[in-house]
């Protein structure tokens, strides 16, 4: 996927929200969808089951308009969290420029978080991408739940964020931390593209 | 540059309905009779209704009917891109020629001609050229010609002059047929009524219809229970009946989009703007532009691309300037090499500014290899050329040629028997011409010329060989009669002759007799040789002989004894070379006897006992003496031929 196209003067960023099932990836996208002016966003494609579980993926295109003479577009994707949809996850991950790992802060979900993180790493490797080279930020969602049920961000950092990437405590349902996460991953992606050569 | 035809897009895979029947029929007709049925054929329809499919299907069908046809499919954008690249590379004409040779040209997305005046002109020219040469052009657009904004009137009339057909939205039956065929192609089966339910939805185009089908196929693949008419509507989010699934996804934002929601986005946007601004700084744009420009001209841009990989490279503009300078140098080298050796100029090394030394080395190699053609021999100066009435005409012509090379007598053919100084005069003119500015004088014997050509053919560098002589400001060929029977050399000389004469370069030849009496030389060359000035050199008169003798004797530091000079000058000789030979013999005899050179000694040598055999490398009469036997003794050798006058008397007796 072309990140910066100097010929057509376009920047396209594909950002994938990754994480275990029910951690709040789609919720992130919905919140962003609600905040982006109608003219700036494309139709949000969401394939959900009757029980609101993401079956394939959500897709939200955002047009940021002309920035420094470049038509800048963000494409936000979520993957289905359930373990058995790995093929879809791998597919969605293809050509990603950045990844947001949405972790579930609930203490009992820690293993799922770790498993999903490992799954992310192996799926990236399938595409020949080293997870260390991929712009990645962590989001610890559901921090609004009662404290006895959840782990604190420092605890989650200890457990999950061994690469010390930027991490954010979030409450996606109410929007806390959603844009901070997006902004952080965008910066990482754009900084990486600045270091890279233009592709066509 | 040009897209290839998608093998799936054929007429066989195209579902024909009432809405597109005309377009398909026209397309088939055009494919069967390219250039003669409807030319141009203009197909328009909304997006996703099969323009590209029909366009490519025409290409496939035409190719099936006549495999040798040259068929090109490309979108207007690709055409524009190719055109710009060609213009940037200075290949505009080649670009036009390339497209004029296409038998069936399929151009997609013509609507993008809006606001492209120069492309409209180009396309108009191309359409005219293709029509005139009976080549087919098929265009596709999302609107009829007249509705393409800002389209040149002439183009509109051109496009409309063939056949303009539209393709509409397929009707219900066609939609069902399309869905069935596509489902079959994908190997998917649906319960009865499912596809019909999908077909009932009036999607604005076939592409979206396909999207719906894809969704159904995907859904059915992961669900155990097959889809039925009911849940199809839910899956597709068809409004009216079951907008649950779709409605939820769109309307479910957790918090109302009011409380400063826009601000959050604006904040994000401004942050991204700052980041992008930093990322794609102005210098990057400049480097990228340089990359695009030079890449377009066919130069390697690895060095500039490396710049882009750096965080904050120092002296970007200097680097670009240095790169541009290197490219200029490469261009100069390439131009220089192109003159010396057209073959070598095309080498990649002249397109890679990252390896300047390689380019310089290659150019140097060509330069070395393309040493100027053989120059005149310095031994034959004009002031040592004895003048007399016998060579007056030739010498005057030579002076005129030297004064105005290429203008007065072109070619100059010096004719005379062997040994009269033709070669001397030829080289002497060459030496004089060489004194002029930027002169490259090729002066060589015809034999050498032939040998060089053979070597060039052998080494596969005839181009280089030709270029070498074409650069010459004057070509002087000795003994042109040796061309006899050498057809290839005559051919080359003929071309070279015309090239040089056209460029007002001087040509001088020597021959033993008038060109039209020479055997084995092609008429076209003879007539050209005769077309200049044929100047004869006669046998040396006494005055000339005396002058020559004095010079030769002075050269050998022999006192100019009047008796000796008179005696020798009176001897009947035919050529200057013979005179030189005689003097040489006398000097050798004198040296052998350790006596001074006198008239007496000379008489003794020439009329008495034959002098010992010469050992110097002077040219002899041309009789080749085999050392293996036969003519060995001096007595049997004829050293001094009587003058022709004497011979005639002898014959009479």
Report pLDDT digits (tens) over B575-625: 777 778 888 888 888 888 887 878 888 887 777 655 455 444 445 555 554
pLDDT reading at B250 higher than 50:
no
> B235 near B216, Cβ under 8 Å?
yes
Q: Which residues of B touch A33 (CB under 8 A)?
A: 253
Cβ of A11 and B244 within 8 Å?
no
Query: Is the CB of A67 less than 8 angstroms away from the CB of B277?
Result: yes
CB contact (8 A) between residue A68 and residue B308: no
Question: Do B372 and B443 form a contact (C-beta atoms < 8 A)?
Answer: no
User: Between A and B, how many CB-CB pairs are < 8 A?
Assistant: 117
CATH number of B382-535: 3.40.50.300
Give the residue from chain A lying closest to B255, CA to CA: A174
Percent of chain B with pLDDT over 90: 3
Q: Chain A within 8 Å of B379 (Cβ-Cβ)? A: no
pLDDT of the residue at B635: 58
CB contact under 8 A, A34 and B253: yes
Residue B290's closest chain A neighbor by CA?
A6
Query: Which carries the bigger pLDDT value, residue B621 or residue B103?
Result: B103
Q: What is the per-residue pLDDT for A170? A: 94
B245 and A27 in contact by Cβ < 8 A? no
What per-residue confidence (pLDDT) applies to A51? 58
With 60 as the cut, is the pLDDT of residue B37 above it?
yes
ipTM: 0.79
Question: Which domains are assigned to chain A?
Answer: 4-195 (3.40.50.300)
Could you list the pLDDT tens digit for every one of the 200 residues in chain A?
446 666 677 888 899 999 998 899 989 988 998 888 888 887 777 665 555 556 667 788 888 877 766 788 888 999 888 877 888 888 888 889 999 999 999 999 999 999 999 999 999 999 999 988 899 999 999 999 999 999 999 999 999 998 899 999 999 999 999 999 999 998 888 877 666 544 33
CB contact under 8 A, A35 and B264: yes
Interface test with B, best of A56, A66, A194, A196 (most B CBs within 10 A): A194
- Give B239's pLDDT tier (boundaries 50, 70, 90): low
Decide whether B21-167 matches B382-535 in CATH topology: yes
pLDDT of residue A114: 94
Long-range contacts of A156-165, Cβ-Cβ distance < 8 Å, separation of 24 or more:
A156/A103, A156/A105, A156/A113, A159/A110, A159/A113, A159/A114, A160/A101, A160/A103, A160/A113, A160/A114, A160/A117, A163/A131, A163/A132, A163/A136, A165/A136, A165/A137, A165/A138
pLDDT-based confidence at B650, cuts 50/70/90?
Answer: low
Q: Return the residue of B nearest to A183 by Cα.
A: B268
pLDDT at position A156 is 93
A121-156 pLDDT, tens digit each? 999 999 999 988 899 999 999 999 999 999 999 999
Residue range B407-416, pLDDT digits in tens: 878 888 888 8
- CB within 8 Å of A199: residues ≥ 6 apart: A2, A3, A4, A5
Q: Note whether B254 contacts A58, CB cutoff 8 Å.
A: no
- Specify whether domain B172-251 bears CATH 2.40.50: no
Sheet containing B506-511: which strands, arranged edge to edge? B441-445, B474-478, B506-511, B412-416, B533-537
Place B281 in a pLDDT band, splitting at 50, 70 and 90.
low
pLDDT value of position B1 = 44
Q: How far apart are the first and last CA of chain B?
A: 89
Confidence of residue B261 (pLDDT cuts 50, 70, 90): very low
Give the model's pLDDT for residue B311.
62
DSSP 3-state of B39? coil
The pLDDT assigned to B267 comes to 78
State residue A198's pLDDT score: 41
Residues recorded for chain A: 200
pLDDT of residue B251: 34
- A 130-189 → B contacts, CB under 8 A: 172-175, 179, 182-183, 186-187
Check CB contact of B303 with chain A, cutoff 8 Å: no
pLDDT tens digits along B39-77 = 889 998 888 888 888 999 999 999 888 888 889 898 888
Residue B627 clears pLDDT 60, i.e. is over it: no
Question: What does the pLDDT read at residue B273?
Answer: 76
Determine the average pLDDT of the residues in B267-287. 72
Under CATH, what is the fold of the domain B21-167?
Rossmann fold (3.40.50)
What pLDDT, in 10s, does the model give residues B345-382? 777 788 888 888 888 888 887 777 666 778 888 888 88
Locus of tokens 């022709």: B644
Report pLDDT for A6.
64
Q: Given this model, what pLDDT does residue B589 score?
A: 83
Residue-range domain boundaries for chain B = 21-167, 172-251, 283-369, 382-535, 542-651
């Amino acid at each position: 996927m072309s990140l910066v196209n100097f010929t057509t003067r376009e920047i396209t960023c594909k950002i994938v929200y990754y994480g275990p099932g029910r951690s709040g990836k789609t919720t992130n996208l919905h919140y962003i969808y609600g905040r982006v002016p109608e003219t700036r966003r494309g139709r949000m494609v969401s394939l959900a089951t009757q029980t609101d579980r993401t079956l394939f993926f959500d897709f939200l295109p955002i047009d940021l308009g002309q920035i420094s003479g470049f038509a800048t577009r963000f494409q936000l994707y979520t993957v289905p969290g359930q373990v058995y949809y790995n093929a879809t996850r791998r597919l969605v991950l293809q050509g990603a420029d950045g990844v947001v790992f949405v972790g579930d802060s609930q203490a009992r979900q820690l293993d799922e978080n770790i498993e999903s993180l490992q799954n992310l790493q192996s799926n990236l490797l399938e595409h020949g991408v080293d997870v260390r080279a991929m712009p990645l930020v962590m989001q610890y969602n559901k921090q609004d739940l009662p404290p006895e049920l959840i782990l604190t961000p420092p605890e989650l950092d200890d457990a999950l964020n061994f690469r010390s990437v930027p991490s954010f405590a979030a409450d996606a349902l109410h929007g806390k931390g959603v844009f901070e996460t997006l902004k952080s991953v965008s910066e990482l992606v754009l900084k990486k593209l600045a270091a890279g050569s233009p592709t066509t | 540059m040009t897209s290839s035809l998608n093998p799936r897009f054929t007429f066989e895979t195209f579902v024909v309905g009432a809405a597109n029947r005309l377009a398909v029929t026209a397309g088939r007709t055009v494919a069967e009779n390219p250039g003669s049925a409807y030319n141009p054929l203009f197909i328009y329809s909304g997006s996703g209704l099969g323009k590209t499919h029909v366009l490519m299907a025409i290409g496939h069908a035409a190719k099936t009917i006549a495999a040798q046809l040259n068929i090109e499919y490309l979108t207007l954008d690709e055409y524009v891109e190719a055109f710009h690249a060609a213009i940037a590379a200075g290949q505009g004409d080649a670009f036009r020629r390339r497209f004029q040779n296409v038998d069936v040209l399929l151009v997609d997305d013509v609507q993008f001609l809006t606001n492209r005046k120069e492309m409209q002109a180009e396309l108009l020219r191309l359409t005219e050229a293709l029509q005139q040469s009976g080549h087919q052009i098929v265009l596709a657009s999302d609107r009829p010609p007249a509705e393409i904004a800002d389209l040149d009137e002439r183009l509109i009339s051109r496009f409309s002059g063939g056949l303009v057909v539209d393709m509409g939205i397929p009707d219900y039956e066609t939609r069902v047929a399309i869905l069935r065929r596509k489902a079959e192609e994908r190997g998917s089966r649906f319960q009865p009524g499912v596809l019909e339910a999908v077909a009932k939805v009036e999607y604005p185009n076939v592409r979206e219809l396909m999207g719906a089908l894809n969704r159904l196929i995907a859904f059915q693949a992961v669900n155990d229970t097959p889809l039925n008419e009911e849940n199809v509507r839910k899956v597709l989010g068809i409004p009216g009946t079951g907008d649950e699934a779709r409605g939820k996804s769109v309307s479910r934002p957790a918090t109302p989009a009011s409380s400063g929601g826009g601000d959050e986005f604006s904040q994000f946007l401004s942050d991204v703007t700052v980041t992008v601004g930093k990322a794609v700084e102005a210098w990057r744009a400049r480097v990228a532009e340089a990359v695009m420009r030079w890449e377009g001209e066919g130069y390697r841009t690895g060095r500039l691309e490396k710049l882009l990989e750096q965080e904050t490279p120092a002296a970007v503009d200097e680097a670009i300037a240095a790169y541009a300078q290197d490219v200029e140098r490469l261009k100069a080298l390439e131009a220089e090499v192109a003159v010396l050796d057209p073959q070598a100029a095309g080498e990649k090394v002249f397109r890679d500014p990252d390896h300047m030394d390689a380019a310089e080395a290659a150019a140097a190699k060509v330069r070395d290899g393309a040493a100027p053609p053989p120059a005149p021999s310095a031994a034959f100066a004009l002031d040592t050329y004895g003048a007399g009435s016998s060579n007056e005409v030739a010498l005057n012509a030579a002076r005129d040629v030297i004064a105005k090379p290429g203008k007065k007598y072109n070619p100059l053919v010096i004719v005379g028997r062997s040994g009269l100084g033709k070669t001397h005069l030829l080289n002497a003119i060459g030496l004089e011409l060489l004194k002029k500015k930027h002169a490259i004088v090729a002066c060589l014997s015809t034999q050498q010329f032939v040998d060089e050509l053979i070597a060039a053919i052998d080494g596969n560098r005839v181009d280089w060989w030709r270029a070498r002589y074409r650069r010459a400001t004057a070509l002087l060929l000795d003994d042109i009669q040796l061309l006899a029977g050498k057809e290839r050399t005559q051919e080359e000389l003929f071309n070279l002759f015309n090239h040089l004469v056209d460029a007002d370069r001087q040509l001088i030849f020597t021959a033993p007799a008038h060109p039209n009496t020479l055997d084995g030389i092609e008429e076209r060359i003879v007539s050209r040789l005769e077309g200049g000035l044929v100047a004869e050199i006669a046998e040396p008169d006494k005055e000339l002989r005396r002058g020559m003798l004095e010079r030769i004797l002075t050269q050998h530091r022999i006192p100019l004894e009047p008796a000796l000079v008179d005696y020798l000058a009176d001897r009947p000789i035919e050529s200057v070379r013979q005179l030189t030979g005689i003097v040489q013999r006398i000097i050798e005899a004198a040296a052998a006897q350790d006596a001074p050179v006198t008239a007496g000694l000379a008489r003794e040598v020439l009329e008495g006992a034959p002098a010992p055999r010469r050992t110097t490398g002077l040219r002899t009469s041309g009789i080749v003496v085999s050392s293996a036997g036969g003519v060995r003794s001096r007595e049997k050798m004829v050293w001094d031929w009587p003058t022709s006058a004497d011979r005639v008397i002898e014959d009479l007796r």
